[in-house]
Each structure stands twice: as structure tokens, then as C-alpha cells.
Structure 1
């Protein structure tokens, strides 16, 4: 915000703040008004309730006069000012520097009346908050601050401050807190209002309140959210209600198809709703916030019964269906079956509802208690576009079901054994969901569903084969077949030109994977009997993700992989060998081999790689030398059979942006500055590049899945320099069976190499003290040392290769010779293996521990400055985004902040609580997996300088 306001500019500036209702725009504006008032010598004006001013029934000119009178009265601190024309405001304020806040602006007329830059004196700043970005652009306001939803951790903090007046929930309230935050959907208004309403109440009170909170809005929340709805055109209001009740998370094209031939202008209406932040469009998906959905049902409930187009009250719908009391006004029914104990649907229930297009019956938490009686023959309305009936209780659909106009057919969790006989005209069908229909034995003929895009058969455990009619579904883009435990045969898919995603889990009887079309982008095959992939795979020129996880019969690739692959996961598979062709994948960024227990070697990998996860590859002995992966994070956790050559290749790696983790109990000899313990002093040299190695081991305080952080304080002792704190975050790894080496490069580019008489002190600690720091070492890097190390390593590798070649007179001798050399070399200190025992015995003796992200932080302090300043230097590497690399942020902070930070307990950690499971659930909410929701402006302002390692 400060950069947008740009106080160095002496001219007049107007800045907009936009975002959905309840996001905190007004809160930000009030904070700015308070914080900036001194800059304007207390001459500030906060104009709120502007939306209400549009409803007072004045003409446009009279409204502008009225608004300008209000502005003048507040700026000049004079009550009851009256003006006769619109030039007065310029005459009175042209020489005055003012801060003006226009809160909740709804129309362009308001901006024309109050925000003309020619009316005010130099240095004036006008801040406008609105839910409609378009009116800012129409008024020529281009400096716009977008307020996004807070992160999960920020949302928890906001709620806890309102509910408990502290940043975390007390014991016993963790799960309840998580549920309420989920209901609020991270909306600050909801978090604050619901938090305040629950403050001081007991656990029992919270439990009683939760059901009501899920379906009813607090009056304060409703009054704010409803303003946007009431400002809509009547047709757009209907569209809003239909999305809120039936079409949330639907594809834009599906929404358009379902509302075709109505009097709604769907395309324009969606744009209008998006402008007012009543919906969002995420990758062509229409998304409405949960609280807005609740508001939609409340709006419907308050309408006159005779005029309701949509019915949502379960008891009202029961009466209509049992007594056949529907009418032509009704276009949609939606209710929770759990709210009805028994329902006997009349055979003529839908006869009078000739315009019914949306039918949705869904299951609540007690739906199994509801008894539904459905007649064998029942006439369905021909205009039906959506049939969403969860847990349909009968073996077959009623006779008389007309699906000619159906767009979305959702019968998930049904007891259907068969859908229909013969071939139905399904030209409008785009989505078909039969998930977890565990009694379904066969699919009907779908050859006429020529526009079907999404077919979900996941959980159809009785399904033995899939009809060959799917070969005609040329528009099918997603095919889900997870947990089809009886599935043995899938027809060829090669003619499905639009197919982009295939996912299949837990289909153990499936041995042969069918041929696939060239346009497939994602293939996910988990826990199946598939032994190899089809030859057609190599022609998939758009394939980016290939996950073949937990397929124990899958041993190797019998075909070349397409060069477009960016993510390849073979974790927990039976693969024994990675073919050398993997080097020829120039776009490969992530290679996941976790738990490949039969894998013995790794070939040369592409330089594009950013993540290699080889955790628990307990047979892995050899890796390519050199690795040639300067930007990659390499995790070899629990790879206890790594040979001497492999260890050398990993340790000598050039980690421009990454790091490496591998088993080891001692610092290799090439780290010529090393010490037992967690503190190390090294002299300053002409080179500011160095490599760091730390021996770590989780201790008894470690709790499964706890986030691990390794912190390092570094003090530069000598002449005054720019000092910094550094922090590395390592993503979660599997359980540790022994000690491990963490290795990374660093480049202290801010140190002036010409200065002398300086030393650097490194102190390693563990956040929450869950890691023991056994040893630490540093190798100062120079051009000469790089060359000598490479020559030494190459000579050693050649010697090792030579010895291996001489010993390989036959296959058995060669393998035995290699194992012998690996065992001997693994005891050498140069490879970092501890002398106090081998890994096998350690792994049996140690308690198995599962790890989580580790972080390293450095801080540098100028010692001869008075007082010595400390600067924050933070780094992070995420598992999901390894390409981010290491990024440094320099912040000046108190010298005690590092100690305070390292001593703080992890927010949400439940190791000291009675219920560990509850704590883990709470802690997991701090893992922000979806960066797309990050807002442009944080809640705090930090002055930062970025460097790159």
C-alpha cells in the first residue's frame, strides 16, 4: 500500500482497495486513516456507508450535491454545509492537503462526485474501497490494492484472537476451532464475528452451536454479504441463487449448458457476479464462498412461498413430493435427506413441475436413518438438466426417467446394479458420476453420450469390465477408475482424442493398461497389478505428470518416455532399474522414488531436475558421477547401502539452489574446518563461497510428523559489514533410521573480500530442541579447491571403476566385488560414515522416527558496531515448489530475536497434549499448499532486501 500511495509524489493520487465483502477492506482503510493522519496534520475525512447513500431516492445531480456537502462538512469540520453547485468543492479545497477515505463505493456516480484529482491541493491522497474493480478502472484509477484471503495460519490466528484472546486455541478446543474456521472459509469478517460469538463458551456449547453455524448466518455477517446481492439485477440475482444451491464448483461450460434456453444472460451474469466478488472463476470453474452459499439459502427461505422458484426447506419439499403439490414456477429442488425421517414420493410428484431443471438430494451425517420410498414408475420432468441423487436406495432407476436434456448425472454412493437397458439419447450429457456405487456390475451403452467430458467410476468395486462403447466418447477429458477392485479389462482408449487425465487406484486385478491417446496430460496409477505401460505412451506429446506409485509388479520401462514429462513418480513400486533414457528428459523437474526397495542404481539425470526424492531406497548403492543436478534438492534418507562412489558424487555436488540429505555419522575430511558439537569458528578468506555439512539426528523429544528446523547463527567478527540472518526450511522426509548429513552451499556476497582481520562464528541449534547437532563442518570454496577436489574425486572414481572392471570376470564376481568395495569404503571418514557401527545395526536399534521439514537459519552480527546490529536473513525451500530455490530476506531485528524465535514452541504442536491426533490436525492447517490464494498485500509490512544463493 505504501508504494501505491507514493508519498514522494507531491501530486494528488487516488488508490483503490478491492476485494469481496467481509475481506477486511474497511479495516485496512481505517488503519490507514489512523496511521497516516499525522502526515496530513489531522486533516482527514472518512466517508462510510456510501452504498446506503445510493438508496435515498435522489436524482443523480442531487446525489452528487449531497455527497459533496457531506465531504465538505467532514473536511472543514463544519456541520450542515449546503452548496448550490458542484464547483464549490474545488473552490474550497484546491489548496488543502487532505487524506480522504471513500469506503464501500458502489457506483461511478459516487466517484464522479467525490474523487476528482483537480479539486484538491498538492499531496492529497484519496483511498477508495469497493467490491467492484470495474468502476475504479472506469474512473481512471489504476493504482489498485487487491485484498486476498488470509492464509490458513493467519485465519487461525484471527479466529483465536477473537474467540480466546490469544493466538492459539486452548486444550480441548483444537478440533472445534478447525471446524469453525472451515465454516468461515478464511473470511476475516466471519472469523471475527463467529469467534466473538463463541468467546467464553464451554466445549459443550460449541458442539451445540456448530450445526446451526453451518446453515445459518450471524445477522452481522448477513447484513454485509447481502449488500452485494441486493445491488444485482433481478436476472443476476436468480443466477446467484442457482449457483449457490446447485452449481458451485461447476465448469463454466456446464453452467452455460444447464441454463441454456432460459431468460438468463449467463455469460454477462457470470461477469457481473465476478466483478462484485460474489463468485470466483478458477481455471474455468465457478466457485462461491461457503458463507455466500448459506446466504443464498437464507434469501430463498425468506421469499414468499408462492413465488419461490427454488425450494430448499426439507419439510416443504417433503410435502410437495408426497402430495404432488408442485407447480410450474418451481425450477429446482435441493434438500438434505438427513433432515427427513421418511419420504414416500408420489408417482405423480413431478407431473405439475413442468419447468423443473434441477433436482438435488444429498446426504447429511445421519442420512442412513432416512427411509425413502420411490415408486417403480414415475414420470420425470423432461427439462431436467441436473440429476444429483446421492445414495439412491434402489437397484434400478424408475421407469419414466427422461434424460434427453440431462447435463450432469450424479448418482454417487447409490445401490444401483444397472442403470438402464439399451441406448439412450444423451447428447447433452457432459458429466457422469457413479463413484462408490458398490453394487454396479455393468455400464450401459454410452455410445450416444457424444459430449460426455467427465466419467467417474471410482469405488465401483463390483464393476468387472467397462463397456466398449466408451471408445466413441471423443470429448471425454477425465476418466476416473479408482478402487475398481474387480476391474480386469479396460478397452483401448487410443481413439479418445480429448482425454487429458486418467486416474486409477487400487485396481489389483488389472494387469494390462490399455493404449492411450496422444493428448493425455496426466496419468496416475496407484496400487494396481499393472506390469508395464503401453508402447503408445512414447507418443503422448503433452504428458507432464506420470505417477506410477505402489505398483509392485512394475519393474522397468519397456518404452521410451516422452520428453515433455515434468513430474515422474515411481514411489513404492517394484522398479529395479531406471533406464539411461531418463537423461533425455529436458523438462523433468521432479523425480520421486520413495520406497523403491529394489532399486540399486541411478543413471545420469537431466540438469533440469529440481527434486530427487529417493527416501527409503534401501537397496540403492550406485548413483551417476557426476550427478549434474546443481538446482536439485536431493534426499537419500535411509539409503543405508549407498557405496563410496555414490557418496562422493553426492557430497561433491554443486548445490546452486538445492541441498542434499544422506546417511552419515561424520563430517567428510574435505570439510577442513570442523568441530564436534554445534559451534564452529572459521577464518575469513578472500573467498566468500563455502560448503556446509552438519551431522543431525532427531532425539527423544521428536514427535512423529513434527516440523524439524535446524537453525544456525553466524557472526561476522571484524569491521562493520552488512550482517544477516539466514534460515533454510527443508521439507518433510521419512523416518530417520540413523544419523544423517545435511549439505548445502552458501555465498556471502555482501562481505567485502578486501577487508581483513575477520572471522566467522557459526552456531547451530534446533528449533524446539528436537534435533541433536552431532558435528558441523565448513569447506571454504575457491577456484583452486574446486579444481583439486574434482581431480581427486575423478581419480578416485576412475580407480574404483578400474577395480570394479578387473573384478567383473563374471556377473556374480562383479556384484560381490562391488559390494565388498562399498562396505570397505563406507567405513572411511571421507565418505562421512561413522566409526561407531554400521547402519544396519543402528537401524534395528533406533526407534523409527518420521521427520518433517528441517530449516536452517544463519544470522550475522557486526561485532564492533555499537550496539552490534543483527539482520534477519530467511530462506525457504518447499516440497511442492522446489524451483523456488534458496531466497534470502534481510531484516533488521533485535539481537535477542533469534533466541526468542528458536525457543518458541511450534504453534499447533500437540506433543504435550493428551490428544496427539487432534494436535496433528491443527498443525496441518499451517501448511499452505495452495499459493494461489496468497494475497497481494500481507497484513504486515516488511522492508526487505533479497539476495540469491
Structure 2
């Protein structure tokens, strides 16, 4: 009698265990020796106790081997039941199977499974001999175990005419099952369980339809790891799949440069069929073979890192190729590829949270979830340098593992300015695969427009060689940028760093010969020394990065005729002037599309500047007194921003700015008049002249058909209500000298918000259109809230705080079904004003204290849940600035 068990199975880096149990000389000499040899050839290291006398002293060792095994193999022969030891081991194995879900593989060697099941024939005779002197309970337990093991599908020697082939089949099955058993490869990976859980739900495993899903995200985000973990989970816990395959790195591993088209598809399908059927070198003559071989098979298929549609067409062209219940998972960096193949169920792998990213980094740097004492701040900084990209976190963490604190500190400057080689190689491949125009757009965003709004970028690049509309879609689909719901473009910091490094390498020693300049020190040197060239297309300088005042040459831009984008900005508003022009500025390039210069230090723009291509002019907090003389060609201009240019007295003639959409003049405190040419700006959407304290009137005919937002709050000298378009949606004229509102405002069908707080001369409550949702009449002289308040049927918020003259409130206010917030704090209220039970408002603020008619309701109007509206984005910004302290509505920040 002998027992045989494997204590470990070495396959790749995975350690598994296997237990084989049998009895008798009838199997040892022939079957066992061949079986053992085949296992050894496959890398399974076996423990055998041939000839060892059975005793209770070795039982704990045998028991441990059984319970620590992933698979138990029971070899049942004619004399198997003649050993009580074997039968008791079988009881242990059956219990392990029931408790731990252990896989059991029976082998019926020269015995019929029915004889084992019913304990008859030679097998039954051996069993009867063993039962002599045993209790009935022992007998019944053995019988149940034998019956149960015989009911499990296994190999039967009677069905094989070649014992060697049977052994090969058994060993192949063992290896397959060991490969499918759960591994610990993914234990402890941060956030992995959540990804796998969401994907499992998307797969809808209970459905019999053939389903394809995509896993999409940028390189290094963890798509392959997630797919591998999902695959391992499904193959180890789901026996329904008849076939399974994880075909990894398709982009890099299965490409033959000399094969294309039909030949490449054949090549891919041959590899696919070889792997899924575990046969070497399958050869096919046409692409219909996969469909023929797989249409009745339920398969689990993972196609990893696909980058061409031809690959999907070759491997999974149609769901009809596969049997019911098949699941196909495709990982890719290209979302458009999934769409083109008709894969509509796409899982986007997002970046980990800041906390998760820090934990990932610490696992690679310190082999634990947190940083040791003294390393926390260093670890936080390095983790942030990786931009929360899992690949970057793992590479940077591993590169610093084992270093002292001093070595970390010494490594930081290098990490701040340059790539780790592995990361650079990986991300560089993403860029290299782009078409030339898309590469150019990528570099524009990396150097100038990361964080820009999509519409702004499209305007700035209109009529250029770049197709921004199509190019942005390509970059999004390749996961090289992300566009948020609010329209902002965001490029990952590592990709941005890579793009800037590509530009730097154009001319390392002479920055003036590069396309884009973004380094503060290099830019100031170029501007001071006049070393720019015709190569320069864009400059982006954060002036808060300049330590000392820099004197810019009057001819700084003279050698940069192709400069299109000039952005000189201050990240901190309290920064003093850092760029000075001691000799003025003689010229600006005529090809400029963007002129953004915060704190512009001189009185005017160069007289020879022709803004024919200018799309955006932004010169906040400037020393400008005027822009230019005469009428300029401004047909490309979309936005003009002169906020806080306190010295500017006049706005030039804008009659040719026929495409101007936004004009910001807030805090232009010297501005007395605005040109009558404003009357012709029919595309103007936003006009902000708030806090222009010297401005006393608008042009007489401001019936601009596109005007949506007008802000004149704080124009103290404004006495008459502006004559403007009835299509305005947001109007703020608070803190003015306006005495009355024309009754025609009740016919303005688009008006959503009217803000007149601080208009102390206003005594009559305005007649409002039904569309109004936000009304602020705080600190006005209004005496009565009249019956016509009910006409404002959509009113949500009414602020009338500190209306000291308010004496009467019409009961019509009860009819406002949508009213949610009323602020009457600081008012001398009539006793009949409704509080609980009568008013429909969810929050009523009286004398500074809130009486609520519902649990909802806060002092912060921003938390109000408004009804659906096509202008919800604009309204939400208004609500964020509307407070119970009647601070007003800041309309100028809408765009």
C-alpha cells in the first residue's frame, strides 16, 4: 500500500498543491509509476509514502496535505475498499470538498463506477471484508462517501485503449484546473475589488446572450490587471464556460510586420484557436474556421490591449460566432475602436482617488499601506508627481524602495523635472501612434491649453491647419485627454510633462527656437534678450514663478512673427508687476489669436498691432488707458476681458467685432461711456459692467438679439432701467439709482433672474414674467408685495431682506407653487404673514431666524434643489453667489 501527494506545483510564479490518493500493488507498479513520471515532467513535485507503515503518527501529516491541497485525485481500483485507511482518507477528502469547495478528480482504474457506487463485484467483496468488526455508523459513512465519489465525473480506464493517453489527459486536466484555481496574485491591490465587482455586473452572467464589453482607459491605468483579475475570478468560480482564453498584449505580441490584411487575420485566428483549444500550431485556410469551431461552445474570452479594428474582426467579428452565454472582454486605449466594432457596453477605468493613489505608492515603496515615520511628506509629494497613474505610482515607488530619507530628498529634484525611463517609454508609445495633426494638437494642449474649455479651444484654433473637432475626439478616444461635463479639457500631468519634454528636445540649448515656451526662466531670458525666432507659436508664462522683476525688451516679439498664443498670467492676484517695459513695446505679432497679459504695465497696445486674427483679448488689472485708435479688423474676436483695468477711460469702436460674444468691463472705475457701436454686436451674449462707478448710461438702443446676461450692479450713477433686449435671461442692476422698472418687463419670456438689491429708490414692486425663478429686491424701498406676485408662477427664491418700508404682503403669494425660499429678515412684517401651514415655501427667514415648513431649507440658497431647466448650469452659478446676507448675484462669472 502506498500514498502519493504533491506538496507544490510550480507553474510560472504560482505555487499550487495537489493530493492524489490510491491503494494497492495493483496500481503502483504500472499506472502509478507512469502517472508519477508524467506529473514530474509537467513540473509537479510529488510526495510519496510508498511502503511506509500506516500509523496514527503520520495521520496529521496526511490530513494537512489533504486540506491544503487545491485538488484531490482519488484513484479507485478493485482493492481500494479493502483498506480502512483509504476509506477514512476518502471521508476526509469528501469533507474537505464540502467545506472548502476543493476540486475532486476520481480515476476508476480497472473498476466500474457502478461497482463503486453500489459496492458490488470485486470492489464490493473487498469492502465487505473491511467492514467486518466495524460499527454500522462507520459502514454507512463509508458507503455514502463511495456513492458520492462514484457520482462525480472522472476518467475510467475501461474507456481508454491506451493507458498512456489516459494519463496524459488526466495530467492535462490537473494542470488546467490548477491554472483555474484562485490565486493570490491580486491580493491587496487597492481598488481592484470595486472594479471587478462593477464589471461582473456588466457581464450579466445569468443571461444566455453572447455579450461583448470593453474596458477602456489610458496606458498605465490598470486595464490589463483588472481584466486578469476578473478572468481569474470567473474561471475559478464558474464551471459553465467550456472554453476560456486570456490573449494578452495583442498590440505588441501578435503583429507580423510582413503580414497584413487577410493574412494577418488568418495569423491571429490561428494563434487564437491554438490557445483556446490548447493545441499547438493550428493551421487554417479561411476565416470561417473560428465560427465553425466555436458556435456551440460557451467561452470566456479576454482580448487584451487591442489597437486595431482588424484584430477584433479576426478574433471576434460577430457574436454569432460563439455559443450561448459567451462573454468577450476587450481592453483598449481607443474608445472609438470599441464603438466601431459595435461594443456599446464600455467600462471606463478612472484614476484612483488621492487616498488610494497614496496607498498604492506606499505598497510599492514600503511594502505596506502607509509611509513610515519621517517619510510621509516625501511620499505624498512623489505620489503627486505620478499624477495618480497606477503605473507611475508603482514604478516610482519601486525605484525608491530601500532608500534612506536623505536619498529620497536628493532624488526629488530629478523626479520633479524628468521622467522615469520606463514611464517615458510607455507613454511615448501613445504619442507615436498618433497622426501628425493629432500630435500637433496634443502638444498645443500639453503646453498651452490644459484646463481650457472645449469651445474656447475650438475658437482659438478655427481656420488653422489643425482640425480641433476631430482631433479632440481622437485624443479622448485614445485616453490622452478627458473632457469633463462642464466642457473643460484635462490632460494627465504625466502626459503633459511628456509633451513639454518633446518640445524641449526640439532645441535643448536655444529655447527661442522651440514651438512653445513654458518654462518661466527660459521665457524671461528670451523676452529680455530678443532671442525668439519664427519657430515660436506659443508662450505661456505664470508670472508668479518669477522671483525678481524682469525688464522686457521693446522688441521682445519682433523676431517672433508666427507667434499665435501669448499668455502671461498671474496665478496669485496679489502679485506685483513682474514684467516691466521700461522702453515701452514697439510691436506685437499680427498673427496673434490669443493675447492674455495680466497686469499689462503700459498705457496702450502698440499702434502698429493689427488684431485681424485675434480671438481672445484678456488684459485684467492692466495699466491701459486705451486699447487703440480708430476702427480695427476684429471679426475673429470672441472675448474681450478688461476686468479691473482701472485707468481705462474709453472702449474703442467695436463695430467690426461682429462675432464678439463676451465683454467684461467689471471694476473699470474710470470708464465713463461705452461706444454706441455696442448696438451692432448681435452675437454678444454676456455684458458685464458691474462696479463701473462713473458709468451713468448705456447706448439708447441695446436690443441685442443674443444678449443673455447683463450685469450693471454697482453702477451707482445709473438712473434709468436699461433699454435692452427682451430676450435677456439674467439681469443684475443692484446698487444703482434706478427708481422704477418698466411694466414691459412682464413680457420678457426668457428672464430667469432679476437682481435689484440695494436700489433704495425703487418703491414699486415690479411686474414680473412667469419665467422668473430668482428675485432679489433686498434693501429696496418697496412698501407692498402686490397681488401680481402670483404672475411669477415659476418663482423659486425671493429675497427681500432689510426692506424697511415693507408693510403689506398680498395673499397671492400663497399661490406660488414652486416657491422654496423666502428671505424677509430685517423687515417689519405684518402680523398676517403666513408661516407654518399657509406658505408653500420650504424655508422662510423672518428677522434673521428661520422658521421652516419642511425639513429641507438652509441659510445657503446654493443648496436649493431647483427644477429642471435648459439653463441649469447658469442658474447653479447664480445660486452659488446668492446668500441670505444679500451679497448679490455675480453674473460676470457665468462664462
Q: Tell me if TM exceeds 0.5.
A: yes
Residue 501 of structure 2 is aligned to residue 298 of structure 1: yes
Alignment of structure 1 residues 72-87 onto 2, 5 Å: 72=273, 75-76=276-277, 86-87=287-288
Give, in angstroms, the shift of residue 880 of structure 1.
4.2
In the other structure, the counterpart of 2:767 is 560
Residue 788 of structure 2 is aligned to residue 585 of structure 1: no
Separation in 2, partners of 1:196, 1:44: 33
Give, in angstroms, the shift of residue 498 of structure 1.
1.5
Separation in 2, partners of 1:523, 1:337: 35
In the other structure, the counterpart of 1:609 is 818
Give, in angstroms, the shift of residue 109 of structure 1.
1.5
Unmatched segments (≥5 aa) in structure 2:
1-198, 869-895
Q: Which of the residues 510, 517, 521 maps onto 1:311?
A: 517
Alignment of structure 1 residues 765-914 onto 2, 5 Å: 879-883=863-867
Separation in 1, partners of 2:712, 2:793: 27
Relative to its length, the structure with more helix (as a share) is 2
Give, in angstroms, the shift of residue 517 of structure 1.
0.9
Give, in angstroms, the shift of residue 514 of structure 1.
1.8
Bigger relative contact order, structure 1 or 2, given CA contacts below 8 A and separation 6+? 1
Asked if 2 retains the 8 angstrom alpha-carbon contact of 1:163 and 1:197, the reply is: no
Residue 43 of structure 2 is aligned to residue 59 of structure 1: no
Q: CA RMSD in A?
A: 4.9
Residue 345 of structure 2 is aligned to residue 143 of structure 1: yes
Distance 1:77-1:433 versus aligned 2 partners, 3 A rule: farther
In the other structure, the counterpart of 2:663 is 455
Give, in angstroms, the shift of residue 171 of structure 1.
14
In the other structure, the counterpart of 1:470 is 678
Give, in angstroms, the shift of residue 564 of structure 1.
1.7
In the other structure, the counterpart of 2:116 is none
Separation in 2, partners of 1:183, 1:454: 37
Residue 565 of structure 2 is aligned to residue 329 of structure 1: no
Residue 837 of structure 2 is aligned to residue 633 of structure 1: no
Separation in 1, partners of 2:384, 2:729: 32
Asked if 1 retains the 8 angstrom alpha-carbon contact of 2:621 and 2:642, the reply is: yes
Give, in angstroms, the shift of residue 325 of structure 1.
3.8
Separation in 2, partners of 1:71, 1:571: 73
Give, in angstroms, the shift of residue 528 of structure 1.
5.4
Aligned length in residues: 653
Alignment of structure 1 residues 70-109 onto 2, 5 Å: 71-72=272-273, 75-76=276-277, 86-87=287-288, 89-90=290-291, 93-109=294-310
Give, in angstroms, the shift of residue 123 of structure 1.
1.7
Partner SS state of residue 129, structure 1: strand
Asked if 2 retains the 8 angstrom alpha-carbon contact of 1:156 and 1:168, the reply is: no
Separation in 2, partners of 1:168, 1:486: 59
Separation in 2, partners of 1:74, 1:369: 67
Partner SS state of residue 725, structure 2: coil
In the other structure, the counterpart of 2:356 is 158
Separation in 1, partners of 2:817, 2:394: 46
Asked if 2 retains the 8 angstrom alpha-carbon contact of 1:14 and 1:125, the reply is: yes
Alignment of structure 1 residues 33-432 onto 2, 5 Å: 33-41=231-239, 44-53=244-253, 57-60=257-260, 61-65=262-266, 67-68=268-269, 71-72=272-273, 75-76=276-277, 86-87=287-288, 89-90=290-291, 93-116=294-317, 117-145=319-347, 155-159=353-357, 161-162=359-360, 227-247=429-449, 255-279=457-481, 285=487, 287-289=489-491, 291=493, 292-304=495-507, 308-340=514-546, 341=548, 343-364=550-571, 368=576, 370-373=578-581, 375-432=583-640
Separation in 2, partners of 1:478, 1:586: 26
Distance 1:87-1:477 versus aligned 2 partners, 3 A rule: same
Distance 1:882-1:379 versus aligned 2 partners, 3 A rule: closer
Partner SS state of residue 105, structure 1: coil
Separation in 1, partners of 2:734, 2:599: 26
Asked if 2 retains the 8 angstrom alpha-carbon contact of 1:309 and 1:330, the reply is: yes
Alignment of structure 1 residues 503-582 onto 2, 5 Å: 503-508=711-716, 510-525=718-733, 532-548=740-756, 550-551=757-758, 553=760, 558-570=765-777, 577-582=784-789
Give, in angstroms, the shift of residue 371 of structure 1.
4.3
Asked if 2 retains the 8 angstrom alpha-carbon contact of 1:279 and 1:286, the reply is: no
In the other structure, the counterpart of 2:38 is none
Separation in 1, partners of 2:392, 2:640: 35
1:199-231 deviations in whole A, cap 9, x for unaligned? 999999999999999987777776665554433
Separation in 2, partners of 1:186, 1:633: 42
In the other structure, the counterpart of 2:872 is none
Asked if 2 retains the 8 angstrom alpha-carbon contact of 1:576 and 1:598, the reply is: yes
1:135-178 deviations in whole A, cap 9, x for unaligned? 2232222333456678xxxx354345447899999999999999
Separation in 1, partners of 2:761, 2:413: 47
Asked if 2 retains the 8 angstrom alpha-carbon contact of 1:461 and 1:483, the reply is: yes
Distance 1:196-1:362 versus aligned 2 partners, 3 A rule: farther
1:22-57 deviations in whole A, cap 9, x for unaligned? 666556534533443345438654444344458763
Distance 1:140-1:610 versus aligned 2 partners, 3 A rule: farther
TM-score relative to the length of structure 2 = 0.61
Separation in 2, partners of 1:211, 1:537: 62
Relative to its length, the structure with more strand (as a share) is 1
Separation in 2, partners of 1:289, 1:179: 19
Partner SS state of residue 360, structure 1: strand
Partner SS state of residue 471, structure 2: helix
Partner SS state of residue 384, structure 1: coil
Separation in 2, partners of 1:212, 1:504: 51
Separation in 2, partners of 1:216, 1:606: 66
Separation in 2, partners of 1:214, 1:478: 41
Separation in 2, partners of 1:502, 1:7: 56
Alignment of structure 1 residues 638-787 onto 2, 5 Å: 659-660=854-855, 730=856, 732-733=858-859
Asked if 2 retains the 8 angstrom alpha-carbon contact of 1:552 and 1:574, the reply is: yes
Q: Which of the residues 422, 438, 443 maps onto 2:646?
A: 438
Give, in angstroms, the shift of residue 584 of structure 1.
2.0
Give, in angstroms, the shift of residue 299 of structure 1.
3.1
In the other structure, the counterpart of 2:132 is none
TM-score relative to the length of structure 1 = 0.58
Q: Which has the larger radius of gyration?
A: 2
Give, in angstroms, the shift of residue 455 of structure 1.
0.8
Distance 1:508-1:30 versus aligned 2 partners, 3 A rule: farther
Partner SS state of residue 403, structure 1: coil
In the other structure, the counterpart of 2:52 is none
Distance 1:375-1:200 versus aligned 2 partners, 3 A rule: farther
Separation in 2, partners of 1:294, 1:438: 38
Partner SS state of residue 271, structure 1: helix
Give, in angstroms, the shift of residue 387 of structure 1.
1.2
Separation in 2, partners of 1:296, 1:633: 52
In the other structure, the counterpart of 1:481 is 689
Give, in angstroms, the shift of residue 407 of structure 1.
1.4
Asked if 1 retains the 8 angstrom alpha-carbon contact of 2:360 and 2:369, the reply is: no
Residue 211 of structure 2 is aligned to residue 13 of structure 1: yes
Partner SS state of residue 342, structure 2: coil
Distance 1:384-1:622 versus aligned 2 partners, 3 A rule: same
In the other structure, the counterpart of 2:169 is none
Distance 1:188-1:533 versus aligned 2 partners, 3 A rule: farther
Give, in angstroms, the shift of residue 477 of structure 1.
0.8
Unmatched segments (≥5 aa) in structure 1:
643-649, 652-658, 661-729, 735-851, 853-877, 885-949
Distance 1:351-1:160 versus aligned 2 partners, 3 A rule: closer
